[in-house]
Structure 1
Amino acid sequence: MTDKEVKLIIGALLHDVGKVIYRQGDDRRKHSQSGYDYLKDEVGIDSEEILHCVKYHHADALSKADIDEDDLAYLVYVADNIAAATDRRSSENEDVRFEKTMPLQSVFNILNGNHQSYYYLPGMMEETSERIYPQKEKIPFEEFFYSRVKDQITDNLKGREWNADYINSLLEVLEATLSYVPSSTSTGELADVSLYDHVKLTAAFASCLYQYCQEKEQENYKDIIWKNTKEVYKEDCFMLFSMDISGIQDFIYTISTRKALRTLRARSFYLEILMEHMIDCLLEELNLSRANLLYSGGGHCYMILPGTVKAQQIVDDYLERLKKWCLEEYQIALYVAGGYAICNSETLKNEPNGSYAELFRKVGTMISERKVKRYQAKDILYLNSRRADDYTRECKVCRKIDKVDKEGVCSICRKIEKLSNAVLYENFFLILKGEHRDALPLPGGYALIAEKKENIIKWMNQPEFKRVYAKNRRYTGKQLATKLWVGEYTQGQTFEELADSSEGIKRIGVLRADVDNLGQTFVSGFENAENNNRYVTISRTATLSRLLSLFFKLHINQILNNPEYTMDGKKKETGRNATIIYSGGDDVFLVGEWKDIIELAIDLKNKLKLYTQNTLTLSGGIGIYDASYPIRAIAEEAGEQEDSSKRLPGKNAVTILEDGEKHTEAGLNGKISDGTYKWDTFENEVIGEKYRVLSEYLENFEDKGNAFLYKMLELIRNQKEKINFARFVYLIARLEPEERESTERKAMYRSFSEHMCNWIRSEQDCRQLKTAISLYVYVNRKGEE
């Protein structure tokens, strides 16, 4: 990255810092001037190239500026206009004025047909957990808050070297301080895009414009940018690019149960680092920064890149090298597919109507085609010509035929095993050049190791040091690629420990779930014919993806640590006895005590509903297993349960305790599992009604009535036979209290028997009762009865 490119990115990221200064008091200057004076006088920036980007990013100031024709301010001016056009679309309110104290509106207000007016609490990103949930009340910013933001930015910017090594550090500071600050406070525009998202997107566009001009050998930005701005908007300056890792499920779950819990977490984390490393390496080759990254998570990513021939060549070459690396290290187990589409700024704000969705479809189509035709003749010849010293042994962990050590474990599995402790207890992960002992391989001749904080500076002075990632900690400094938000909550070291600590039956529970229709939501979630699709823009897609990534990577830790829902209605005083295997951009895989898994699944569903204002839903599968059950089978079966939930009309469902039967839901062609329910049905009717009726009545039985329930379950399974209905009624009648028993006991029986006899007449109630009985038996089961 050239010095000029670095200055351009920094100038673009800081171009609107004057809004913080302007909003903190009675500042009558324009925010461009406020920002210029602040950066020059208080922060001490002396680079005219950076300062001009701040001072002259508006047309009125730029038209009067005495600057060179190749000044970077021209690029930031256009990039700011493009970014503003994709986030500040006029609202229905025609009374246009500025409201300095306006809080950030929620982007979920207009998602998937929603029509709400919710706001975020004023503040900075990590001040309070309540800020993450939008609320109806509009609480304005106070002037002292902007003073605190300014002070924090100042503390982090003073004394910095303004070079490429500190760009990511600057992004960290701006994310921490500006994520809940609205970009625009105009009452005539929606204020649902943060100032952080706006300046980040501006920097991405500016970098692309710079490279587009460089390829055309045009450096007179005043003529080609300033004087012909409308024509620039129609130029194909940009590329939407996506990468997708195939083979994730097999890579994670193709292991034995030995040390499975830690190994699963380590494998998942390794793939996450792998994706981040691939992103950073490609951006580096393209002379871009992480400002160009729109989204990453769950083995996927999206970026805004220059629409140049050179950029396309670099991307294609990089993908080819990734394929070769995957073949060398993992044969056909892992594959990285990439796709891209060239576009202009009009497309990024959905002009003409429908062009934005078509852009994503083109990218998705290219990825699908490359997955289908992933290997060429030369790749197959390479695989067939490979020779190793020993093909006779199978790794006892991953079952791959490879060279193994004395204990029968291949080198990759051994390194992942050693990484597993670090995933739990270390916060820094270094990328080093070359091979290193116990280090996991990464593309491009790099390796991954975990390290303690006190050793980081020592490594930075070594020639093999490349970059460092911080896990769930925000640090600023040289060559810090980024902090990685990671779902790291864990309780229990092994499946056996989790099973042994379970209430009732000694089993583990697993949850696999993901957001319903997320791909469609990214592409068309902001479409609305009533407003002519004016909010279908790249800025809102970027904001939405960032918020969802934060929910599943960061906020999920808090949800597990602070339980709310319980099956018995009693408050749980400790965190969930569960472990996050992975939690990506939109999906989760959790393992824990079986009852905790059921309860936290409902917590997760409820919190996502609150977080997204009921615009997005979750579907999943919950399985209950013996601790020794093969993890691959667990993953597959839980995945099948998740698929069953997805087949329910409207999705938003959970599948649990399947009984081998199928049934038909209204509006559904075909059959689904008898254990599939809408979340609200499962929470309110299966547990909230039937489970609690059973629990409240049978707790008076010394043996908890398990033998009685087994018999009841047998009759319910065959309730369509009339003789079994009679037997069911007879079974309930046998519980009737004797005459001498208390009035209270008799009343409890009447209520219980009425519920049972009413429920047995309904197929849906019977199905729910069957699940409730199984849950109750599990809670009260002793040993292996």
Structure 2
Amino acid sequence: MIENIYWAGLLHDIGKFWQRAENQKLKNEELSRIFINQHYNDELFVSLVANYHQPTTREEYIIAIADKLSAGESEDKQSGGNVASKPLISLFSWLKLTKGSDQEKYVPLKLYDPDSPPYPVANKNEAVLNGRGYQKLWEGFIQELSKHKDNLASILYLLQKYLTLIPSSADNSRATISLYDHARTTAAIAAALYKEDIPEPTLQKIHRHLKNKNYQAPELQKPYFLLVGGDIAGIQDFLYDIPMDNAAKNLRGRSFLVGYLNRLVALYLVEELGLLESSILLIGGGRFTLLLPYSDLEKLQELKGRVEKIIYQAFNGKLKFILGSIPLTINDLAEGNITKRWEELGQELNREKMKPFLSLIKETPELIFGPFATPDNICPICGREATGETGLCSFCQSIVEMGAELPKAEILQEKRVVEKSSKNEISNVNELFLALGRQVRFSDKPERNCFNLLLNSYDFVVKNCQGFYFAPKTTAQEFEALAKKSEGIETWGVLRGDVDNLGKLFREGFADKITITSIAALSRAMGEFFGVYFNDLLKEFGDKVYTVYAGGDDFFVVGSWSVLPKVALKLRRQFTLYCAGNYDLTFSAAIKLAPNFKHPLFKVAEEARELLEEKAKTGGKDKIAFLDKAYTWDEFSRLQGLKDHIKKIVQSGGSKAIIQHLYGIKNLLYTNEQETSYSKVWRLVYQLSRYRDSLAKELQPYFREKIMDVVVFNTTEINPLASPAARWAELELRARGD
């Protein structure tokens, strides 16, 4: 029966899609009934979808309550006008802390495409493709539905593909939540309510109180839900603390594993509780959030201990599984208290992080404290016994081997199995996957008895797959090769960054009353920029850069050092476009260069983290740290421009003396002697004038306009960007071996 609840939750408003595609005059609920009848012909399923507006059975009340809690006060009204002309309003354009967006913007009605982010536009008619947007999507949806209509797991992916860019509400003032986000949260809420076994009379009272907005009624104060947060801690050390030999394959495998492990653990928990993937509200960035029935608390604690042990056995303590939960009432979901509860969940997770392995210490202390045999050969990564010729343990070697498979794989195959209990150690990644209830393989073609996830593409139906999965696209380039592809000095670097003030935006940025769907939608949209579209944004840089980690609200990229500033500026521009030009949605970043290509990654990663926290994220944040200084993004763009002009002059025949002239400016900027400062400025002007005169005549106007007038302005002021621009230019112009 619970599958019918999921089906009804996901498809209860499918009539809205049909209504807008063909400008139907029938009401949404009638169209939904006809749709279910045509495609499924299941009497119970039809009644759940057709009657939730006027429920008469326990199950119908559950769908009705879930719909109200998901939608909040923005339940769809039968608005006038042509519903096919109403696109999704970008949720980003409605968020505001101080400035917000200049105007409301609309998400284009189109297919989800990882190679084409849905950048919001100001023109509503452009967003709906002149009225044809809904119709084109509907035609594609119906065609692909026919191949997967009986597969509930696949339907979730199909709805994500077609309904994410469609508004749930046709009421223009409320059209910031997608039909996909409304459908999936409705399904999650309904499944939890169904498992709580609430009597029908109580459900009737709850429904009536919600309809009358009587949120203080006693029936709405009882905890029926668990908001559950999971976190894989220790990702930084796990990713970066590796030997530099074969580092690319190792990184590729580890990067995939930390993201995929999140999915496996979340699926394992919900399935062990008799639930389905739709009960996973959020997943990404090393974290996940579930909505579960409150009555599952005891079982959840048992599963927590089980997963903790599996993760410890696999990673020898380097990765830690953290799980926390808080009770939720219907009032929490109805009255806009969800942000407060979400914050409480974060605090609970932080408390859990302070006591890692506590349950393991109590129940199996020998797993943590030993005694352990001392191996003759020790794995340099994790400290276990090394085996074979690689010098690594079997588990770390299996990660490297998985990293070698990934570039050739098109499909990730999952097969659910009865978990296999392990003794005290998990010796490879396949044993880890099996312990979490999945047999996992990579392939270039689908297999009938597996759940086939197409990698990095939404075209899963035409490829005969059942869903999709996005993983960072990486290169086979080792660090030495990355260093050799750089301009100037031969080294590599890292770029890392994260979104500013995101927690505050969740707490204070919404104009309307916040629902669980609002938070789920915002988190999904933010996560998709880094987890889905990130790959495409890096394409133009080819094999000079690759993603180690991107998801949730942060990222970590390795590449030839000279290309990383361009990567950072592009990511910043596209992020601003993606977020509807919202001035309150920014990210800070840091670039750190390795002293040489053999320098340990973990040291460069840690130095970049310090730069990010101590320089880029100080003050108003929204900055980038580069060559140990922080700049606003506008300053950094101008810095790059000045650097390029300096390079052009030198590469066109000018002497490198210009670099020394400009680099020495830093000494003029910190003097307290005003008169001396004036004389030094004029001396600089004299030096620049002489340098200009030494250039070929065709270069002199360019030098005057692009460098002299930029470096010294108003005859007495020196541009503080001149010195770092000269340093940057010198690094890119330096000959190999200098």
Q: Report the TM-score, using the length of structure 1 for normalisation.
A: 0.82
| 2:100 is the counterpart of 1:110 | no
For 2:546 and 2:355, how far apart are their aligned partners in 1? 37
Q: 2:598 aligns with which of 608, 628, 643?
A: 628
User: In the alignment, what sits opposite 2:138?
Assistant: 150
| 2:376 is the counterpart of 1:407 | no
Paired AA for residue 522 in structure 2: L
C-alpha change, 1:387 and 1:167, in structure 2 (3 Å) is farther
Q: Deviations over 1:604-634 (max 9, x none)?
A: 0111111112231111110122221111111
User: In the alignment, what sits opposite 1:265?
Assistant: 252
| 2:479 is the counterpart of 1:510 | no
Residues 327-336 or 545-554, more deviating: 327-336
User: In the alignment, what sits opposite 1:547?
Assistant: 525
Paired AA for residue 167 in structure 2: P
For 1:181 and 1:716, how far apart are their aligned partners in 2? 54
For 2:272 and 2:536, how far apart are their aligned partners in 1? 37
Q: Shift in Å at residue 445 of structure 1?
A: 5.2
| 2:343 is the counterpart of 1:361 | yes
- Helix, strand or coil: the match of 1:677? strand
Q: Deviations over 1:40-93 (max 9, x none)?
A: 23x2x121111112211213xx46xxxxx44x2222122112222265599xxx
User: In the alignment, what sits opposite 2:585?
Assistant: 616
Q: Shift in Å at residue 418 of structure 1?
A: 0.4
User: In the alignment, what sits opposite 1:429?
Assistant: 412
Q: 1:382 aligns with which of 344, 363, 366?
A: 366
Return 5+ residue gaps in structure 1 as ranges. Answer: 64-68, 461-466, 529-533, 563-573, 659-674
Paired AA for residue 196 in structure 1: Y
* Residue-pair matches, total: 708
For 1:368 and 1:209, how far apart are their aligned partners in 2? 28
Q: Deviations over 1:563-606 (max 9, x none)?
A: xxxxxxxxxxx647311111111111111222221101000011
For 1:680 and 1:149, how far apart are their aligned partners in 2? 39
Query: Does the 8 Å contact 1:716/1:760 carry over to 2?
Result: no
For 1:485 and 1:739, how far apart are their aligned partners in 2? 56
Percent of residue pairs identical: 24
Paired AA for residue 248 in structure 2: L
User: In the alignment, what sits opposite 1:464?
Assistant: none
User: In the alignment, what sits opposite 1:531?
Assistant: none
| 2:192 is the counterpart of 1:242 | no
| 2:313 is the counterpart of 1:318 | no
Q: Shift in Å at residue 677 of structure 1?
A: 0.9
- Helix, strand or coil: the match of 1:132? coil
- The 5 A counterparts of 1:390-469 are 390-396=374-380, 398=381, 400-431=383-414, 433=417, 434=420, 439=430, 441-442=432-433, 444=435, 446=437, 449-454=440-445, 456-457=447-448, 460=450, 468-469=452-453
User: In the alignment, what sits opposite 2:423?
Assistant: none
Q: Shift in Å at residue 715 of structure 1?
A: 6.0
Q: 1:499 aligns with which of 466, 483, 505?
A: 483
C-alpha change, 1:228 and 1:513, in structure 2 (3 Å) is closer
User: In the alignment, what sits opposite 2:621?
Assistant: 651
For 1:739 and 1:551, how far apart are their aligned partners in 2? 49
Q: 2:725 aligns with which of 759, 764, 772?
A: 772
- Helix, strand or coil: the match of 2:391? coil
Paired AA for residue 338 in structure 1: L
- Helix, strand or coil: the match of 2:547? strand
Q: Shift in Å at residue 321 of structure 1?
A: 1.5
Query: Does the 8 Å contact 1:472/1:483 carry over to 2?
Result: yes
User: In the alignment, what sits opposite 1:336?
Assistant: 321
| 2:539 is the counterpart of 1:561 | yes
Q: 1:121 aligns with which of 92, 98, 108?
A: 108
- Helix, strand or coil: the match of 1:117? coil
Paired AA for residue 53 in structure 1: L
Paired AA for residue 296 in structure 1: I
User: In the alignment, what sits opposite 1:680?
Assistant: 634
User: In the alignment, what sits opposite 2:214?
Assistant: none
Q: Deviations over 1:534-564 (max 9, x none)?
A: 33222111111111111101111221124xx
User: In the alignment, what sits opposite 2:354?
Assistant: 372
Query: Does the 8 Å contact 2:12/2:183 carry over to 1?
Result: yes
For 2:590 and 2:115, how far apart are their aligned partners in 1? 31
Q: Shift in Å at residue 158 of structure 1?
A: 3.3
Q: Shift in Å at residue 730 of structure 1?
A: 5.3
Query: Does the 8 Å contact 1:88/1:191 carry over to 2?
Result: no
Q: Shift in Å at residue 471 of structure 1?
A: 2.2
User: In the alignment, what sits opposite 2:27?
Assistant: 30
Q: 1:47 aligns with which of 35, 42, 47?
A: 42
Q: 2:6 aligns with which of 9, 16, 26?
A: 9
Q: Shift in Å at residue 105 of structure 1?
A: 0.7
Query: Does the 8 Å contact 1:257/1:628 carry over to 2?
Result: yes
Bigger relative CO (Cα 8 Å, ≥ 6 apart) = 2
For 2:517 and 2:281, how far apart are their aligned partners in 1? 9
Q: Deviations over 1:306-350 (max 9, x none)?
A: 2x23x1112212212122223322232121112222122332244
Query: Does the 8 Å contact 1:428/1:451 carry over to 2?
Result: yes
Q: 1:701 aligns with which of 653, 669, 672?
A: 653
- The 5 A counterparts of 1:87-102 are 87-88=74-75, 97=80, 99-101=82-84, 102=86
Paired AA for residue 320 in structure 1: G
For 2:136 and 2:569, how far apart are their aligned partners in 1? 38
For 2:693 and 2:519, how far apart are their aligned partners in 1? 68
Paired AA for residue 442 in structure 1: F
- Helix, strand or coil: the match of 2:190? helix
Q: 2:285 aligns with which of 267, 280, 298?
A: 298
C-alpha change, 1:300 and 1:480, in structure 2 (3 Å) is farther
- Helix, strand or coil: the match of 1:123? coil
Q: Report the TM-score, using the length of structure 2 for normalisation.
A: 0.87
- Helix, strand or coil: the match of 2:388? coil
C-alpha change, 1:443 and 1:112, in structure 2 (3 Å) is farther
| 2:569 is the counterpart of 1:581 | no
Q: Shift in Å at residue 119 of structure 1?
A: 0.6
C-alpha change, 1:592 and 1:647, in structure 2 (3 Å) is closer
| 2:194 is the counterpart of 1:210 | yes
For 1:410 and 1:325, how far apart are their aligned partners in 2? 17
- Helix, strand or coil: the match of 1:591? strand
Q: Shift in Å at residue 131 of structure 1?
A: 3.1
Return 5+ residue gaps in structure 2 as ranges. Answer: 212-216, 421-425
C-alpha change, 1:252 and 1:160, in structure 2 (3 Å) is closer
- Helix, strand or coil: the match of 1:75? helix
C-alpha change, 1:727 and 1:324, in structure 2 (3 Å) is same
For 1:448 and 1:779, how far apart are their aligned partners in 2? 48
- Helix, strand or coil: the match of 1:158? helix
User: In the alignment, what sits opposite 2:737?
Assistant: 784
User: In the alignment, what sits opposite 1:568?
Assistant: none
- Helix, strand or coil: the match of 2:555? strand
Query: Does the 8 Å contact 1:88/1:184 carry over to 2?
Result: yes
C-alpha change, 1:728 and 1:347, in structure 2 (3 Å) is same
Paired AA for residue 505 in structure 1: I
